[in-house]
Amino acid sequence: MSLKDKPLEKKKLLYNYLIDPKVTRRNILFVAIFLPTMLIIGVLVAVFLGPGNFNIIDNYISDMGSHRYTPIPKFLDDGVMITAVLLVPPCFYIKHVFDSKSKQLESLNVPKGYSTIVLIMMLIGLFGIFSSGFISEDVAISLYPVTSSAYDLHDILSTVQFVGLASAGFLIGIILVRYPSGILELGAYENKSKIYPILLGLVMIFLTPILTTLYLLEFPPSAPFWEWMLFFSLFGWILAIGIVILHQIKTEELK
C-alpha cells in the first residue's frame, strides 16, 4: 500500500465504523439509559445537596453544571459531552439508511442532498451539546471579561445546540410526514397505520417552534421551565428515531 493510499484506507475504516449497525445500536441503547440517569442524579444532587432551592421553574438546565447551584456539576457537563460523542455514529448511520433505502424502496425517496443537510444539522447540534458541557457556566464566568459578558460563550454554544437539533428534527419530521410508508418499512412496521409516523413527524415539525416561542417570550411559568421542556422535546425525538433505527437494524439482521 502506497503512502497516498493509507489516508484513504483510514478514512474508509472510519466511515465503516461510523455506519456500523452494531456500533449504532450499542450507542443508542447506552445513551437512552445513560443521559436520563445522569440528569436525574444531577437534579437530585442539586436539589438535596446544593446551596439553594434548585427547581425547573427558576433554574436553567445549565445551572446544573455550575458550582453555584450544585456540588457536583460533572453529572451534567460530563453527561452531555459523552452523549454528544456517542451520538455521532448514529447520525452517520441515519444518513446511510436514508441514502441506501431510498435506492431500494419506492416508498422512500429522500434526496441525497437533503440527507446530507440533516446530517450536518445533527452534527452541529452535537457540537453544541459537547461544547456547552465543556464550556460550562463556571468556565464561561472564568473567561469574563475576555468575553463581553459572563455567559456569552456558554449561551452561544447552547443556542448552537438547540438550533442544530431543532433543525434536524424539523427536517426529519418532514421525511416522516412525506414518506410514512417508507419509514414503516424501515422498521418492519408494514402492518402499522401510517398515522403513527405522520403524527411523530408533525410533533417534530411544530412542537419545538412552539416551545421556543414560549421560551423567548418568557411565558408563564418561566423561561427556565420552557427551556427544560424544549430540551425534553429534542431528546424525545432523538429517542423516537433511535427506536425506529433499532427496529431497522433488527430487521436487517433477520434477513
Instruction: Give me the DSSP letters along 11-50.
Output: HHHHHHHHT-HHHHHHHHHHHHHHHHHHHHHHHHHHHHHS
126 within 8 A of 86, measured Cβ to Cβ: no
90 within 8 A of 129, measured Cβ to Cβ: no
Q: Which residue has the cell 424525545?
A: 236
End-to-end CA distance of the chain: 35
The reported pLDDT for the residue numbered 236 is: 94
Cis peptide before 221 (omega within 30 of 0): yes
The pTM of this model reads 0.92
Q: Which residue has the cell 456547552?
A: 132
Determine the Cα–Cα distance for residues 79 and 99; give it in Å rounded to an integer: 31
Which residue, among 203, 21, 190, has the nearest Cα to 107 in the 3D structure?
Answer: 190
Output the CA torsion 77→240→179→182 (10° steps).
120
The reported pLDDT for the residue numbered 142 is: 82
Which residue, among 136, 100, 130, has the nearest Cα to 115 in the 3D structure?
Answer: 100
User: pLDDT tens digits, the chain, 255 residues: what are they?
Assistant: 555 667 778 888 999 999 999 999 999 999 999 999 999 999 999 999 998 899 999 999 999 989 999 999 999 999 999 999 999 999 999 999 999 999 998 899 999 999 999 999 999 999 999 999 999 988 888 877 655 555 578 888 999 999 999 999 999 999 999 999 999 988 767 677 899 999 999 999 999 999 999 999 999 999 999 999 999 999 999 999 999 999 999 988 876
The reported pLDDT for the residue numbered 2 is: 57
161 within 8 A of 132, measured Cβ to Cβ: yes
Q: Which three cell numbers stand for residue 161?
A: 445546540
Determine the Cα–Cα distance for residues 177 and 184; give it in Å rounded to an integer: 12
The reported pLDDT for the residue numbered 3 is: 56
Q: Which residue has the cell 428534527?
A: 169
Phi/psi zone of residue 90: left (φ > 0), alpha (ψ -120 to 50 degrees), beta? alpha
- Looking at residue 36, its amino acid is P
